[in-house]
Amino acid sequence: MLTLGRLNGQTLSNVKQLYADVFANHQKEVLPKVDEKTPLEISIGFSLFTISKFDEVDETIVILGGIICSWNDAGITWDPTSYGNKVYIILTNDKIWTPPITLANAVDVLGPVQGLTETTAIIFYDGNVSLPLGGVMSAKCTTDISKFPYDSQTCKFEFLVWGYSAREIVLNLASDPFSENFFIPNSNWKFTSYNIQTFSWNGYSTLEFSMTIKRESLYYSVMVVCPTILFSLLNPLVFLLPIESGERIGLAMTILLSYAIFLNLVSAAIPASSNPMCVLLIIMIVTIVISGVIVVLAIYSSSLFHRDKNMKINAYWQFIASGQPWSKNHNKIAAEPINDEKPSIDCSPPVSVTWKDVSHGFDVLLMIVSYVVICFGIAVFFIIVR
């Protein structure tokens, strides 16, 4: 394809003659270098259009992006005054030499970033060429989901000119190396920052585009994090339910089974990766373990409550029961004001400790310890993911 136009008196015949003269002896297979000792410099700018997909398990990211390549082709020059002041021409990229820009960390196929089967290049009279490339790009991306769902990921796209070492071609950054003018946001990931640099890698001049994306966490906060916290805070309330009601064990089992069902439902929403493991998943596992332990302790507390009142209570259980209201009067000696006539001392018998008192004290202790452990775990989670 050749675009023909009129500028400053140029005619169709001028453009046809320009094309015939310039490309009469042009060989597109030859690397357009004037000096074989000096590498060809190619300036590259990157445009990000959208983030199509990010897969934490497969560690891949798919984007739609564009690359603008600029270089000087010494074999394509002309005098504009000889061709009606035509300073540039636009033609398909198959008519000239083009750099095989390749994504080195591609997922499936290692090949030139072409995108469209046919694209156009702009060639100026002094030999400067501007070529837009691009399309769907899939790259490997090392992921860290330990802070899920408040995680950020940094992915790299490494481009090089495949088949040409740094002695033949050197990649440089364009004056405007990055553009997001046409960027379309992703509903699951927010583009936060980027970095572009060039370096030499295994003898190849390489351009690295690094982008950082942050997960949109509102959905996961509402559907996963909040229910997990509510379940964990609900568990210890079992110890507030009177044993006489007969519903304590049933309530504890109901909470345990409900959370197990919830964990099964939301497991699909949590990335299945063990290196590193998601902290939220650890919290969820700990929560269900605590729920199971609470069921066992609730059963044991009920057994204490129904023990024979004639069974001896050792010092340990008496200490557990010491937090009960009865202990305020336990072994209390009441002295009345001294009276010259009748000094008296009230030596009433001490209140006896029953297994019901032990059970109640044990419940209070378990509830306090449970909430301390749960609140500590929740605090650690938010400190890690912040």
Amino acid at the residue 158: E
Sequential pLDDT tens for the chain (386 residues): 444 444 455 678 888 889 888 888 888 888 998 888 899 999 999 999 999 999 988 999 999 999 999 999 988 999 999 888 899 999 888 889 999 999 999 998 777 786 655 688 999 999 999 999 988 999 999 999 999 999 999 999 999 999 899 999 999 999 999 999 999 999 999 999 999 999 998 899 999 999 999 999 999 999 999 999 999 999 999 999 888 888 888 999 999 999 999 988 888 888 877 778 899 999 999 999 999 999 999 999 999 888 888 888 888 888 888 764 444 444 444 444 555 555 555 554 555 788 888 889 999 999 999 999 999 999 999 999 98
Please name every residue paired with 61 in a beta bridge, in sequence order, or none if there are none: 54, 139
- CATH class given for the domain over 2-216: mainly beta
What is the structure's pLDDT at 16? 87
Contacts of 54 (CB under 8 A, 6+ apart): 60, 61, 62, 141, 153, 155, 188, 189, 213
- Tokens representing 179 are 């553009």
DSSP codes of every residue in 220-242: HIIIIIHHHHHHHHHGGGGGGS-
How far, in Å, CA of 265 to CA of 254, rounded? 17
What is the structure's pLDDT at 39? 94
Beta strands in the chain (DSSP E): 2-3, 40-55, 60-72, 88-92, 101-103, 120-124, 128-140, 152-161, 169-179, 189-201, 204-215, 334-335, 345-346
- Tokens representing 231 are 């379940």
CB 271 within 8 A of CB 56: yes
Cα 40 to chain center, whole Å? 39
CB 191 within 8 A of CB 180: yes
Q: For residue 280, with 0-12 CB atoms within 10 Å meaning exposed, 13-18 middle and 19 or more buried, which class applies?
A: buried
Amino acid at the residue 326: W
pTM of the model: 0.81
- Tokens representing 90 are 């636009």
Domains of the chain: which residue ranges? 2-216, 219-325+344-385
What is the structure's pLDDT at 15? 84
CB 228 within 8 A of CB 287: yes
How far, in Å, CA of 67 to CA of 179, rounded? 10
What is the structure's pLDDT at 2? 45
Strands 169-179 and 40-55: parallel
